[in-house]
Amino acid sequence: MIEVDHLVKRYGAERAVNDISFQVEKGEVLGFLGPNGAGKSTTMKTITCFLPPTEGTVRVDGSDVRTNGLAVRRLIGYLPEHTPLYTDMVVRDYLAFMARMRGVEARDVAARIGEMTARCGLERVLHKPIDALSKGYRQRVGLAQAMIHNPPILILDEPTTGLDPNQIVEIRELIRSIGQEKTVILSTHILPEVEASCDRVLIIHRGNLVADGTPGELQAGFEGSQTVHIRVDADESAVRAAVAGLEGVEMTHHEQDLDGWTHAVVSTRNAADLRPELFRLAVREGWTLAGLHRDEANLEDVFRQLTSN
Amino acid sequence: MQLMWILTRRELGAYFDSPAAYVVLSVFLLFTGWFFANPLFLENTASLRSVFDLIPFIFLFFVPAVTMSTFAEERRAGTLELLLTLPIRDWQVIAGKLLAVVIFLGAGLAATLLYPLSLSLMGDLDFGQTVGGYAGLLLLGMTCGAIGMFASSVTRNQIVAFILGFGIIFILFLLDKVTAFVPGALAGVVEYLGTDYHAQNMMRGVIDTRDVLYYVSVTFFATLLTAYSLSKRPE
């Protein structure tokens, strides 16, 4: 659906986007992840035909953004960062204007506004001027204008920035429901957001693509330490001595509670799962094992490792 | 073409929904009304001459005030990004906005039609001069509007847009009045480049294609500059 091929975008001497290539399939929800200023917005702006690429090509459904921009724009519903809206307009008038500008026939406008109102929960504010709305409602108006012409592709630049936790959950649910029928690209620097709503994640850092995969793949492919929590009915010192006998394993934390149980956190850089080994150790030592679990590497770890210097 | 008209209608809605537009129009009518009534009652001359002479002066301030928000405000609020990613070409955006400016100025001029109307009831109105004068003023307004929109397209600050627009329009307005200071060979050229010179011609009741062509080409040139400035995109 969207093919980005060796995209380079330069602002003066600075390379905001440096040779990025990726493809988005129909029906996919793709998350752009990266620190602020990584080139997420710039990439989105080239896909939406706002900025021309300096080098490389961007094709949307076969149309090149350089030569066939109007065709590309018709396929896309776009919500830029900070949700710019004509704040002097009433919500209904604004949606009607955007619907007409995005190619909805005059006779279908009312029906489309009705559908978007129901979908984005705008019933209560439809007749209010936009500058009287709360940030959460503005965001919904922004989403409504992006979807008003029922586009196959939605591009949302930081759709949840500046919202309170309840609003974030609402917008995320909305995006997930949209994602079932449309191709969606959304950018964020909030990690749980990607895990919550995306099929696939691209991590961009300083204009380069540093990771591409499903959230699961990125976690699995992450090379770092594994951490295992163990809880046994033994003395602290006995546990420490026993763990010290294992090769390449390090105890990072341990404490004994009043009932005599010791909680220990051990970590290793070995790839093999540490849990069977710890279980055998407990059996050998004759401990009662009350807890044994491994921390999964989360996206946050992946992200930090890839984007730190 | 249809998209352009939808945009024009939104722009007009934005003008007429805001109290500022009515303040500006009222002040415009107050000035022109004074310059119409003064010679009529005090000097007993049934002429639109003084009104026609005054309006290009008023346009110096009035037109940049109308156009200063066209692009600068959209740039500041970020709505320009959304507007330019709609399935509409940049030149259609510019043309749609210019059309709204011309219609707004036309509404101001239309309100002054009351003066020739009352003159025609009371005395002998020169019909040719009136038609020529209004046509000239509308063309002058369109030209100044295109220049003001260019000034608005290069900045995100409306005040800067106003001052820049006023500056350019003022220089073009002055050109035919400084011919005494330029070498003889150039005088004709400088005079021809002045905006007011052509309006004065048309107010005499002569609609000459040279004057019309001048306004159309300056408008076109200013629009090209605006398109160039938009194509560079913000940030």
Residue A93 confidence class, pLDDT cut points 50, 70, 90: very high
Predicted confidence at residue B134, as pLDDT, reads 93
- The model's confidence at residue B67, banded by pLDDT at 50, 70 and 90, is very high
**Contact residues, chain A, for B89 at CB < 8 Å:** 70
Residues of chain A in contact with residue B14, where contact means CB-CB under 8 angstroms, are 86, 88-89
Closest CA to A9 of A47, A55, A44: A55
- Region B179-196 average pLDDT: 85
Q: Quick one: tokens of A214?
A: 């499903």
Q: Return the residue in A42, A51, A130, A155 with the most chain B beta carbons within 10 A, the one to mutate for interface testing.
A: A51
**Cβ-Cβ contacts under 8 Å, A78 against chain B:** 82, 85
CB-nearest partner of B81 from A80, A93, A101: A80
pTM above 0.95, yes or no: no
User: Using one digit for the tens of pLDDT, what is the confidence trace for A223-251?
Assistant: 556 778 888 888 888 888 888 877 777 77
**Which residue of A70, A85, A145 is in closest CB contact with B87?**
A70
Token pair recorded at residue B23 = 């303040």
> In this structure, what token pair is assigned to residue A53?
């690429």
Probe site for chain A from B7, B76, B86 (most A CB atoms < 10 A): B86
Task: Evaluate if residue A257 carries a pLDDT over 70.
Answer: yes
Strand partners, A289: A232
User: What confidence tier does B159 reach under pLDDT thresholds 50, 70, 90?
Assistant: very high
Q: Measured between alpha carbons, how far is A29 from A187 in angstroms, rounded to an integer?
A: 11
Among A236-250, B17-31, B57-71, the minimum mean pLDDT is found in A236-250
CA–CA separation, B138 vs B116, rounded Å? 16
Order the strands of the A183-188 sheet from edge to edge: A76-79, A153-157, A183-188, A29-33, A200-205, A208-213
CA distance A148 to B210: 47
Identify the residue whose tokens are 């009515």.
Answer: B22
**Three-state secondary structure call for residue A20:** strand
- pLDDT band (50, 70, 90) for residue A256: confident
Domains of chain A: 2-220 (3.40.50.300), 226-305 (3.30.70.260)
Point out the least confidently predicted range of A59-68, A186-195, A265-274, B185-194.
A265-274
**Cβ-contact B174, B127 below 8 angstroms:** no
The pLDDT of residue B99: 97
Cα A194 from Cα A181, distance rounded (Å): 18
- pLDDT score of A225: 62
Please name the residue ranges forming H helices in chain B: 2-17, 19-42, 49-67, 72-77, 79-84, 90-111, 114-122, 127-153, 158-174, 184-193, 195-203, 209-231
User: Which of A11, A73, A145 minimises the CB distance to B87?
Assistant: A73
Q: Testing the interface with B: which of A61, A86, A104, A154 to mutate, by most B Cβ within 10 A? A: A86
Task: Give the model's pLDDT for residue A146.
Answer: 93
pLDDT for position A151: 93
Average of pLDDT values for B69-77?
93
**Which 8-state DSSP code applies to residue A131?**
G
For range B31-48, the mean pLDDT: 83
Spans of all domains in chain B: 2-231
B13: chain A residues, CB-CB within 8 Å: 89, 93
Give the model's pLDDT for residue A110.
Answer: 94
Partner-chain residue, chosen from B14, B81, B87, that has the shortest CB–CB distance to A84: B81
More confident residue, A161 or A59: A59
Confidence of residue A64 (pLDDT cuts 50, 70, 90): very high
